[in-house]
C-alpha cells in the first residue's frame, strides 16, 4: 500500500471511532499526537480506537489526544482534516427533532461534560503552561532541522572537509536562531488573542542591530538581549496594548492608530525595560543551569532524570520549554535535555524486564515488542500508557532507571564534560545527531550513550527484582489467548492497549 493510501486509511479508521465528522470541532497535532476537540466525548469508542494498528494510545485532556508517533502524525493529520471536511460537506441537513432539548437541558449537558475535564486540567497554572507550550512547540521542527545542520557543519569544520560549503551550512543553521525572537513574538500574540504580526514586529526590535546604539539602565543594549523571554514579554504587552486600543480608539481611526500605538508603546517598554530585565533573567537561567550541574552533578542528574516523567504526567514539563530555548540561544545547546532523556531509557529497561517477568501474558508481550523500537527512539507514550503506568509499580521502577541514567550524565557534567542538545523534541537514540558539548563530539556521544546504557540496566534491574508483587504476578502472568473476550474487557489487555483512567493521564507533550 502506498504511504499516502496508508495514512488516509489510518485517518479513515479513526474518524468513525471518534463520532464521525460532525463530532469533531477542532483538529491539531504536536510531535506525536493528533489532538481533537470533540462535541460529545461519549461518542468515542476508546477500545476500538486503541486497536487501530497505527494508534499507540490515547490521552484525554482538554482535547482528545491520539498517540500516533513522530512522522506518522504529521502525515495522518492532513488526511484526517480532508475526511472531516468531506464528511461535513456531504452530511445531510439535520431533520427537526420531534422533541428538541430545551436550552436548559443542553446547557446542563454541556456543563456536565466540561466539568470533568476542568476539574483536573483547567487550573490557571496548567492553562498558562499549555499556552507556553502552544507558543514554542510549533518551533520544534525548525529547531531540529537547524540543529542537525549545525552538528553536520561542526563535524565538517573539524575534519576540514568541504570548506566552500560549510559557510553556507552555518548560515542555514544560524539563520533561524538569529530570528527566533520574531517567531516567538508572532506565536505569543496569536496565542493570547492579539494580531500575530504585531507581536512579531515588537519582538523584532530585540534582534534589530540598531539597538546597539541605545542605552538602558546606564548600559549599551546588544542585539538579541533578552532573547525569547524578552520576545515573550514584549508580545504579551503588545496584545494588551492592542486590546486597550480596540476598546477606546474610534473605528474610523482604528486601522491607523491601533497598530501604531501598539508598536510604539510596546516597543518603548521593550527597549527601555524588558530587554534589560529579560537579559538578566536569561543570564541567570544559564548561570544556574551551569552551577546546578557543576556543583550538584550526579545528585542533580538523579533528581532531574527520576522526576521528569512525573512532571510530564502533571503537565509541568511544559515550563521547561522556554528554559531549553534560552540555553540554546545562549550556549548553543541545552545541558538539561540529555539528562531528562534518561527518563525514556528507564522506561525501555523497565519494559524489557516486564517482558521477561510475564512470559505467559502474550498481550503485554506483544505490546512491548511493538512499542520497544519507538521507545529506543525516544517515543515513550506506548510503553508508558500501554505497559508501565497501568501496572503501577513498574512505572516507579522505570523512574528509578531514569534517575540512575541522569546521575551518570550529571556526574560527567560535574567533572567538566558538558553534554548538550542543539534542539528540543527528540530523545533516546534520535538525540544523537543533535548532541554537542564542550570537549568534542566523541566524548559527548560516549557520555550520552553511557547514560542510556545505565538507564536501560537500572530500569531493568529495578523492575525485574522490585517491580512486581506476588499478587501482581499472579494476576498478570497468565495466558490471555484462550479468553479473548474476557481479555478485551478487563485485565492485561487493558494494560496492553493503554490506560483508560483519566487521572493517570498527563497534559500532553
Question: How many Å apart are CA 247 and CA 261, to the nearest integer?
Answer: 13
Question: How many Å apart are CA 498 and CA 383, to the nearest integer?
Answer: 9
Please tell me what DSSP assigns to residue 223: T
Q: Are 444 and 413 in contact (CB under 8 A)?
A: no
User: How remote is the C-alpha of 472 from its chain's centroid?
Assistant: 32
The cell numbers describing 408, all together, are 551518570
Active site residue 30: yes
Q: Are 67 and 371 in contact (CB under 8 A)?
A: no
User: Taking the chain, what is the end-to-end CA distance rounded to the nearest angstrom?
Assistant: 30
Looking up cell 518551533, which residue turns up?
Answer: 139
Question: How many Å apart are CA 334 and CA 45, to the nearest integer?
Answer: 41
* Alpha carbon separation from 412 to 226, 293, 378 (Å, rounded): 30, 9, 22
- Choose among 36, 114, 111: nearest CA to 77: 36
| Helix, strand, or coil (residue 324) | helix
Tell me phi and psi for residue 33, to 5 degrees.
-125, 140
* Alpha carbon separation from 274 to 118, 203, 211, 419 (Å, rounded): 34, 11, 13, 31
H or E element in which residue 509 lies: none
User: How remote is the C-alpha of 342 from its chain's centroid?
Assistant: 16
| Helix, strand, or coil (residue 215) | strand
Tell me phi and psi for residue 441, to 5 degrees.
-70, -35
| Helix, strand, or coil (residue 97) | coil
Question: How many Å apart are CA 64 and CA 24, to the nearest integer?
Answer: 10
Enumerate the active-site residues.
30
Amino acid at each position: 500500500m502506498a504511504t499516502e493510501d496508508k495514512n488516509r486509511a489510518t485517518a479513515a479508521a479513526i474518524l468513525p471511532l471518534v463520532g464521525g465528522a460532525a463530532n469533531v470541532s477542532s483538529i491539531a497535532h504536536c510531535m506525536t499526537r493528533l489532538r481533537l476537540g470533540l462535541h460529545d466525548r461519549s461518542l468515542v469508542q476508546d477500545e476500538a480506537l486503541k486497536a487501530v494498528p497505527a494508534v499507540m494510545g490515547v490521552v484525554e485532556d482538554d482535547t482528545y489526544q491520539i498517540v500516533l508517533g513522530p512522522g506518522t502524525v504529521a502525515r495522518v493529520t492532513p488526511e484526517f482534516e480532508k475526511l472531516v471536511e468531506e464528511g461535513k460537506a456531504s452530511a445531510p441537513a439535520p431533520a427537526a427533532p420531534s422533541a428538541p432539548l430545551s436550552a436548559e437541558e443542553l446547557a446542563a449537558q454541556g456543563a456536565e461534560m466540561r466539568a470533568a475535564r476542568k476539574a483536573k486540567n483547567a487550573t490557571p497554572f496548567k492553562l498558562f503552561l499549555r499556552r507556553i507550550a502552544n507558543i514554542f512547540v510549533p518551533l520544534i521542527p525548525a529547531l531540529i532541522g537547524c540543529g542537525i545542520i549545525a552538528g553536520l557543519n561542526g563535524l565538517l569544520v573539524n575534519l576540514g572537509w568541504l570548506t566552500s560549503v560549510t559557510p553556507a551550512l552555518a548560515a542555514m543553521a544560524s539563520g533561524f536562531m538569529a530570528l527566533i525572537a520574531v517567531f516567538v513574538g508572532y506565536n505569543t500574540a496569536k496565542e493570547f488573542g492579539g494580531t500575530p504580526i504585531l507581536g512579531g514586529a515588537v519582538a523584532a526590535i530585540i534582534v534589530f542591530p540598531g539597538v546597539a546604539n541605545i542605552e538602558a539602565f546606564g548600559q549599551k543594549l546588544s542585539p538579541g538581549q533578552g532573547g525569547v523571554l524578552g520576545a515573550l514579554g514584549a508580545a504579551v504587552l503588545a496584545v494588551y496594548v492592542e486590546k486597550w486600543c480596540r476598546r477606546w480608539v474610534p473605528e474610523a481611526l482604528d486601522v491607523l492608530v491601533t497598530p501604531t500605538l501598539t508598536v510604539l508603546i510596546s516597543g518603548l517598554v521593550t527597549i527601555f525595560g524588558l530587554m534589560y530585565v529579560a537579559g538578566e533573567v536569561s543570564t541567570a537561567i544559564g548561570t544556574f543551569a551551569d552551577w546546578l550541574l557543576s556543583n550538584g552533578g550526579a545528585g542533580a542528574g538523579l533528581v532531574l532524570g527520576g522526576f521528569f516523567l512525573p512532571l510530564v504526567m502533571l503537565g509541568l514539563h511544559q515550563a521547561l520549554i522556554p528554559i531549553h530555548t534560552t540555553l540554546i540561544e545562549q550556549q548553543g545547546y541545552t545541558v538539561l535535555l540529555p539528562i531528562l532523556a534518561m527518563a525514556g531509557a528507564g522506561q525501555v529497561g523497565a519494559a524489557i524486564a516486564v517482558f521477561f517477568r510475564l512470559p505467559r501474558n502474550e498481550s503485554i508481550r506483544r505490546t512491548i515488542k511493538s512499542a520497544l523500537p519507538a521507545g529506543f527512539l525516544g517515543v515513550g507514550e506506548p510503553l508508558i500508557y500501554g505497559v508501565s503506568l497501568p501496572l503501577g509499580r513498574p512505572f516507579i521502577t522505570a523512574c528509578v532507571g531514569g534517575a540512575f541514567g541522569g546521575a551518570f550524565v550529571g556526574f560527567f557534567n560535574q567533572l567538566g564534560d558538558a553534554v548538550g542538545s542543539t534542539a528540543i523534541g527528540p530523545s533516546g537514540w534520535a538525540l544523537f545527531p543533535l548532541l554537542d558539548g564542550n570537549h568534542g563530539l566523541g566524548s559527548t556521544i560516549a557520555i550520552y550513550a553511557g547514560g542510556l546504557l545505565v538507564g536501560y540496566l537500572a530500569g531493568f534491574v529495578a523492575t525485574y527484582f522490585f517491580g512486581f508483587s506476588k499478587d501482581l504476578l499472579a494476576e498478570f502472568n497468565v495466558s490471555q489467548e484462550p479468553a479473548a473476550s474476557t481479555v478485551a474487557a478487563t485485565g492485561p489487555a487493558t494494560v496492553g492497549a493503554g490506560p483508560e483512567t483519566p487521572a493517570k493521564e498527563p497534559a500532553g507533550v
